[in-house]
C-alpha cells in the first residue's frame, strides 16, 4: 500500500483522519444531549452461543486492504497527471465491501485526485446521478482549502449524507470504516495516514510479534512497559456498537506504527437511521518506536 512520510502533507478537508496527536471532533448535526436512559450495548455477540454480530478485527482489516487497492494504480499504468484531475478509480466500488450500506436512490460518488511528486490525496463527493461532473479547472473550488479542492456545485457537503443502511450494529461500524476510506481514497505517500492504522480486538501485546514492518506493522514491537498512557487502558478492545435512545455510538481501537507509534480510540456518534456521524479520534497511548518514510 502507498503511504507517507511523518511530515504528512496537510490532508484535504474531508480527506484525512485528523491530527495524530490530538482529538478531533466533527459535527454531524447532533445537537441534543444523550438521554439518561440505561445504555443498551450491542457487543460482538448477540447472545450466548449465537453468531458474532460484528466482524472480527482480522476481517475488518482485510476489508480495509481491499478498499485501499481500489485506488492503487495498476502495474505499468501511465503516471497520473500532476495537480487535480478526475479520478481513474471508481469510489462507488467501496460500497461493495460494506454491504449493509448503499447510496440513496439517485445519488452517485465522484472523486478527484491530487498528485504532486508522488504524493497524493483524493476527495470524494456524493452527487445526483444526472449532475455535471466537471473537470477540476472548470469546477468551483474550496477557497479555504490548502490544496484548493474542487467541489461541484451540486455535491453534498459530506458524502455520508447520501449513505443509507439497514440499521444493524454492523451497518454503523461499516459506516465508520467507509467514512475513513472515502476520506483517504486515492491517497499516496505523504497523503496516507488512516492506512497505517490496524483495527484491534484484543490486547496487542498478547498477540506476539507483529506480522509486518513499517506501514504494514499491525501491533507494537516495543514492550508494554515502555508505553505512556494518556488515558485508561481499554477494558474491552473489541469494536463495540451501543444504542441509547435515538443515538448509536461506535467505538473501536487502532494501532499505528507511524512515528510516534500510538494506540487510538475512535468514537463515532450517529443519529439512529442516519450515517453521517460526529467523530472523535484520540491517541490514548504513545510508544517509543515508530517508522519514518
pTM beyond 0.85, yes or no: no
| 103 phi-psi bin (left φ>0, alpha ψ -120 to 50, beta other) | beta
Query: Could you tell me if 172 and 181 are in contact, meaning their C-beta atoms sit under 8 angstroms apart?
Result: no
Question: How high is the pLDDT of residue 14?
Answer: 39
Query: Could you tell me if 40 and 243 are in contact, meaning their C-beta atoms sit under 8 angstroms apart?
Result: yes
Question: How high is the pLDDT of residue 192?
Answer: 74
Query: Could you tell me if 151 and 90 are in contact, meaning their C-beta atoms sit under 8 angstroms apart?
Result: no
Query: Could you tell me if 149 and 211 are in contact, meaning their C-beta atoms sit under 8 angstroms apart?
Result: no
Question: How high is the pLDDT of residue 36?
Answer: 41
HSE (side-chain half, CA atoms, 13 Å) at 94: 32
Using CA atoms, how far residue 115 sits from 28, 119, 186, in Å, is 29, 6, 9
Per-residue buried b or exposed e for 245-279, using 16+ beta carbons within 10 Å of the residue's own CB: eebbbbbbbbbbbbbbbbbbbbbbbbbeebbbbbb
Question: How high is the pLDDT of residue 210?
Answer: 87
Using CA atoms, how far apart are residues 199 and 21, in angstroms rounded to an integer?
18
Question: How high is the pLDDT of residue 193?
Answer: 87
Per-residue buried b or exposed e for 224-236, using 16+ beta carbons within 10 Å of the residue's own CB: eeebeeeeeebee
Question: How high is the pLDDT of residue 293?
Answer: 64
Query: Which single residue is written with the C-alpha cell 511530515?
Result: 7
HSE (side-chain half, CA atoms, 13 Å) at 210: 19
Question: How high is the pLDDT of residue 39?
Answer: 40
Measured in whole angstroms, the distance separating CA 135 from the mean position of its chain's CA atoms is 26
Question: How high is the pLDDT of residue 75?
Answer: 78
- DSSP type of residue 222: S
- Cell numbers standing for residue 231: 488515558
Divide the 293 residues of the chain into consecutive groups of 10 and give the mean pLDDT of each group: 39 37 40 41 38 84 95 85 95 96 98 90 96 96 82 97 98 98 86 89 92 85 96 97 98 95 98 98 96 73
Amino acid at each position: 500500500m502507498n503511504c507517507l512520510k511523518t511530515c504528512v502533507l496537510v490532508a484535504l478537508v474531508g480527506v484525512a483522519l485528523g491530527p495524530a496527536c490530538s482529538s478531533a471532533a466533527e459535527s454531524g448535526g447532533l445537537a441534543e444531549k444523550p438521554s439518561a436512559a440505561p445504555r443498551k450495548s450491542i457487543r460482538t455477540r448477540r447472545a450466548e452461543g449465537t453468531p458474532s454480530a460484528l466482524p472480527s478485527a482480522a476481517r475488518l482489516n482485510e476489508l480495509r486492504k481491499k478498499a485501499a487497492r481500489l485506488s492503487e494504480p495498476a502495474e505499468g499504468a501511465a503516471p497520473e497527471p500532476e495537480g487535480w484531475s478526475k479520478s481513474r478509480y471508481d469510489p462507488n466500488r467501496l460500497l461493495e465491501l460494506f454491504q449493509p450500506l448503499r447510496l440513496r436512490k439517485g445519488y452517485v460518488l465522484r472523486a478527484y485526485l491530487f498528485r504532486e511528486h508522488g504524493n497524493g490525496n483524493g476527495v470524494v463527493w456524493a452527487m445526483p446521478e444526472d449532475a455535471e461532473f466537471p473537470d477540476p479547472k472548470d469546477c468551483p473550488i474550496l477557497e479555504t482549502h490548502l490544496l484548493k479542492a474542487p467541489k461541484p456545485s451540486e455535491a453534498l457537503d459530506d458524502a455520508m449524507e447520501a449513505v443509507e443502511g439497514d440499521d444493524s450494529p454492523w451497518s454503523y461500524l461499516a459506516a465508520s470504516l467507509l467514512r475513513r476510506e472515502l476520506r483517504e481514497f486515492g491517497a499516496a505517500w505523504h497523503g496516507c495516514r488512516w492506512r497505517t492504522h490496524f483495527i484491534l480486538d484484543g490486547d496487542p501485546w498478547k498477540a506476539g510479534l507483529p506480522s509486518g514492518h513499517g506501514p504494514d506493522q499491525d501491533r507494537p514491537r516495543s514492550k508494554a512497559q515502555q508505553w505512556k498512557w494518556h488515558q485508561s487502558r481499554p477494558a474491552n478492545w473489541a469494536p463495540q456498537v451501543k444504542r441509547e435512545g435515538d443515538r448509536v455510538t461506535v467505538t473501536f481501537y487502532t494501532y499505528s506504527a507511524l512515528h510516534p507509534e500510538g494506540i487510538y480510540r475512535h468514537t463515532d456518534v450517529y443519529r439512529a437511521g442516519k450515517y453521517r456521524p460526529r467523530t472523535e479520534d484520540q491517541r490514548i497511548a504513545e510508544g517509543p518506536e515508530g517508522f519514518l518514510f
